[in-house]
Structure 1
């Protein structure tokens, strides 16, 4: 069906709601663009390179460095250097496909890696914008992360800092970008808006702060892997919570509502496990809520486009918009009646016009009819791509994943904890805040870890303490008991849990590092 919308009406993305586009996202590209935003205080910049980066141009960079006396041995060891570029220094799209393989960017190992990137191949679809908006809520933590990621680079001299120990990959990246300049004149500045879910932004910041505790104790490559895992995990958490909570915010007219989101996680690694029934139902509820979420976003957009309806003419906060939607001012519908008439008038096919009118016939106001028309025009697209978007940011079916499914309709999506994701979360949760500031590592019992995951992230492993399962039957009890046992086994596999005694009190999650910072 052809419903003609103007440029503004076609735009679903709104930084006030969610800065990212629902597309097929690669988290390496998200990190690369996030580093660019961090390095340039929220600006997306271009580099002074007129041609596309290829393996030939990368070889020329290395040849130039050798001619300048910066490096040596490249020409004599060309094949080894090329292999190093491919495996350690570059992020590729269509890797292994000789005809379509292209360079996206340098690997996100150092803050300056964004200087060598092909914008078309390294698109992050504004996911970096969302993460940056969340991190910017705590400037101290943002700057601490920035300082660590920029380690080894002297911004004043535009050279590698002396007397700083760096891993070989970071040194290689810094040599490659040494003579590539940034064109600040073509930059675009990210809007200064507050995340809708501010508590979720604070949680990300706190997790980054805890991760920084390990910066001197783990290799840089491990730190980057943890960071990448956290970015994907928190994007997934934020998206799922927003889908659940945004319609409730519109109904209440405020962001200050109870965060009652939670999700049952299947940690058995068995698609046919007993607990999978409940985990799949929870994920299905989230995905089924996409319609109301899309509708709520169009409602917010419709008011945002006509901010003069607010008591504050320069309305730029979500709070103002929610207040207007809850208590609509006089003559609120007149503008939307005109917009709706324009859409209907521009429809060439009479059957399509009748279909739209039939779709909106039960709405009572012109505003609601207008929003429903937008949903009919663009809703199916958003619904389809949000599935793919959640799959990508959740790193579905990987060791880093928060989501898994099978290849048949029998094994639908469910939340999981991949071994690498679980390792990352445990590393953060074994850190205990101190009254004097800083953190100290400490042991946790299985129950304490399960409780911490539930309280902090809404992750349910043992649902028997949940009000919705207070009258659970034997089958449900068995399902959660098996889930807890599988959780213990997974902790054993990643080296955090050992049964040293039959005494339950001695069965502890033990930190890998004894830290007191």
Structure 2
């Protein structure tokens, strides 16, 4: 069945800003840096010259900027370093190899960026919206950190900044290039549907920035990539619960309208009606009982994507109706009133739309006409209310397409099968995904968890403290929904059988082994208070303001 563009509209900035596609997180960061530079406004882009795509051109530019005979004498070594550590390339090693952008090591990395090779499919806009509406101070602090290395007066490289070689190369490459022009068109005019997830993201970034002087810049960029990708993925999965709940209740949940979720709380999502829970396999054995529980957990989350697709179609169609007929309801938080108390002409409007779809597929022009399948005919004849019939029909036709791209999006955001990832899946098609912690992801969690804070003059001051393993397990579940030792939050997965109790105990043991491998944990005693995670970097911002 063929549908008009407006009938199958999916991406809607008021509901779901992202255009789900297979993304590259580094390219998303480059585009996010551009938005941070333009303060959230769409840039009035100048068309880049074709030479910018050539690695030969970029190497010549670098050699000129470096002004060192050593660079000229070792061109092959310099070329390999630029290709691997400074530039992001597409079609690497092929005849069509081209520059996509600089690596996201500095806020100005976007100045060498080929838009057609550096697409982020609005994920950067969504991330900026989460930062902007989550906590304005986080946007300022993040921008200030990423802009380090340039003098604030003349925008020249600051020799005293202590930059690493790769970041210095990025700044040399963009030296003298103009700043982007602002278009006065905001990329995120409305707040994200789930504002609570945005606040927790902002708190995590503030925690990361507490390490700004302790962690190398390249490591910090990797940390930021992990946190931004993880929270965007958790946002998508939570939205599946949230929008479906609103749709079934025919109204926005009151807890969402007055959201109490904040990252600084001990249990940030305690008041959230749409709790998340993910069983994580920390044993490292894909054939273990715990791995099977983690697969079942991941499978149930990915199965919710069909509900998300149906809910997005519902909201988009209602918003389109409200825009034309009831403009006062043209808001996702109010538009469901149309289902709760339908206007007199509501059913007639959707009946007409269904008739138009049928006519176009039965009697339209040859290039527009498509046959109506038996399943589609059955949906049209089920006797459902006209609006429900339209939603079921559109979901039936388009769900497979959007689900495929949503799965690709989540896999990339969660960095599947990498050391920074929260998902693992073997290459065999019959194997399902399962929740895991890559070693570097676990490192990020520990760096965040060991930080406490006190407030002074409206500002959070972070300081590091050792953390009991038991408290770390509770922190992971309360903040992200990750369950290691059996859920403590209502609705989460708890062990039932003796085998499951044993599996969860082995899981905790596996997590301790992971922590020991990355250097955060040494259990010198079986005593409860001796099983602590130690901070790697001593942080105490309270000293700076005394």
TM-score scaled to structure 2, two decimals? 0.88
| Matching residue within 250, 253, 260 for 2:275 | 260
8 Å Cα contact 1:196-1:255 kept in structure 2? no
8 Å Cα contact 1:48-1:181 kept in structure 2? no
Q: In structure 1, what is the Cα distance between the partners aligned to 2:210 and 2:339?
A: 44
Which residue number corresponds to residue 104 of structure 1? 100
8 Å Cα contact 1:48-1:180 kept in structure 2? no
Q: What is the Cα deviation at residue 195 of structure 1? A: 0.9
Q: In structure 2, what is the Cα distance between the partners aligned to 1:165 and 1:48?
A: 34
8 Å Cα contact 2:41-2:183 kept in structure 1? no
8 Å Cα contact 1:27-1:393 kept in structure 2? yes
Structure 1 pair 448–377 and aligned structure 2 pair: CA distance change class (3 A): same
Which residue number corresponds to residue 298 of structure 1? 313
Which residue number corresponds to residue 195 of structure 1? 192
Q: What is the Cα deviation at residue 261 of structure 1? A: 1.7
Q: In structure 2, what is the Cα distance between the partners aligned to 1:492 and 1:232?
A: 26
Q: What is the Cα deviation at residue 135 of structure 1? A: 0.3
Which residue number corresponds to residue 49 of structure 2? 50
Structure 1 stretch displaced more, 146-155 or 212-221: 146-155
Which residue number corresponds to residue 448 of structure 1? 471
Q: How does 1:320-335 map to 2 (within 5 A)?
A: 320-335=334-349
Q: What is the Cα deviation at residue 199 of structure 1? A: 0.7
Structure 1 pair 365–262 and aligned structure 2 pair: CA distance change class (3 A): same
8 Å Cα contact 2:465-2:534 kept in structure 1? yes
Structure 1 stretch displaced more, 181-190 or 210-219: 181-190
Structure 1 pair 108–312 and aligned structure 2 pair: CA distance change class (3 A): same
Q: What is the Cα deviation at residue 328 of structure 1? A: 2.9
| Matching residue within 332, 352, 360 for 1:318 | 332
> 1:400-430, CA deviations, whole angstroms, 9 ceiling, x for partnerless residues?
1111112335531111111111100110010
| Matching residue within 208, 212, 221 for 1:211 | 208
* SS of equivalent to 2:88: strand
Q: In structure 1, what is the Cα distance between the partners aligned to 2:279 and 2:300?
A: 11
Q: In structure 1, what is the Cα distance between the partners aligned to 2:304 and 2:298?
A: 10
Q: Does 1:476 align with 2:473?
A: no
8 Å Cα contact 2:425-2:433 kept in structure 1? yes
| Matching residue within 335, 352, 355 for 1:341 | 355
* SS of equivalent to 2:30: helix
> 1:20-39, CA deviations, whole angstroms, 9 ceiling, x for partnerless residues?
12211110011011101111
Q: What is the Cα deviation at residue 387 of structure 1? A: 1.6
> 1:285-334, CA deviations, whole angstroms, 9 ceiling, x for partnerless residues?
1122222211110011112222246754472x321223434433332233
Which residue number corresponds to residue 31 of structure 1? 29
| Matching residue within 496, 512, 518 for 1:488 | 512
Structure 1 pair 354–104 and aligned structure 2 pair: CA distance change class (3 A): same
Q: In structure 2, what is the Cα distance between the partners aligned to 1:443 and 1:75?
A: 50
Which residue number corresponds to residue 78 of structure 1? 75
Structure 1 pair 314–475 and aligned structure 2 pair: CA distance change class (3 A): closer
Which residue number corresponds to residue 184 of structure 1? 181
Which residue number corresponds to residue 243 of structure 1? 240
> 1:137-196, CA deviations, whole angstroms, 9 ceiling, x for partnerless residues?
211111100000011224663432454332221221111112323552778530311111
Which residue number corresponds to residue 14 of structure 1? 12
Q: In structure 2, what is the Cα distance between the partners aligned to 1:94 and 1:26?
A: 14
| Matching residue within 386, 392, 396 for 2:406 | 386
Q: In structure 2, what is the Cα distance between the partners aligned to 1:363 and 1:277?
A: 41
Q: In structure 2, what is the Cα distance between the partners aligned to 1:161 and 1:305?
A: 52
Q: In structure 2, what is the Cα distance between the partners aligned to 1:221 and 1:385?
A: 30
Q: In structure 2, what is the Cα distance between the partners aligned to 1:388 and 1:110?
A: 28
8 Å Cα contact 2:467-2:533 kept in structure 1? yes
Structure 1 pair 78–314 and aligned structure 2 pair: CA distance change class (3 A): farther
Q: Does 1:415 align with 2:435?
A: yes
Unaligned runs of 5+ in 2: 256-272, 363-368, 542-546
* SS of equivalent to 1:346: helix
Structure 1 pair 293–470 and aligned structure 2 pair: CA distance change class (3 A): closer
Q: In structure 2, what is the Cα distance between the partners aligned to 1:474 and 1:274?
A: 12
TM-score scaled to structure 1, two decimals? 0.92
Which residue number corresponds to residue 521 of structure 2? 497
Q: In structure 2, what is the Cα distance between the partners aligned to 1:397 and 1:306?
A: 43
> 1:432-485, CA deviations, whole angstroms, 9 ceiling, x for partnerless residues?
122544112111111100001111111111116465666711011011111111
Q: What is the Cα deviation at residue 234 of structure 1? A: 1.1
8 Å Cα contact 1:394-1:402 kept in structure 2? yes
8 Å Cα contact 1:340-1:370 kept in structure 2? yes
Structure 1 stretch displaced more, 279-288 or 341-350: 341-350
Structure 1 stretch displaced more, 400-409 or 139-148: 400-409
Q: What is the aligned residue count? A: 510
Structure 1 pair 488–336 and aligned structure 2 pair: CA distance change class (3 A): same
Which residue number corresponds to residue 365 of structure 2? none
Unaligned runs of 5+ in 1: none
Q: In structure 2, what is the Cα distance between the partners aligned to 1:254 and 1:467?
A: 22
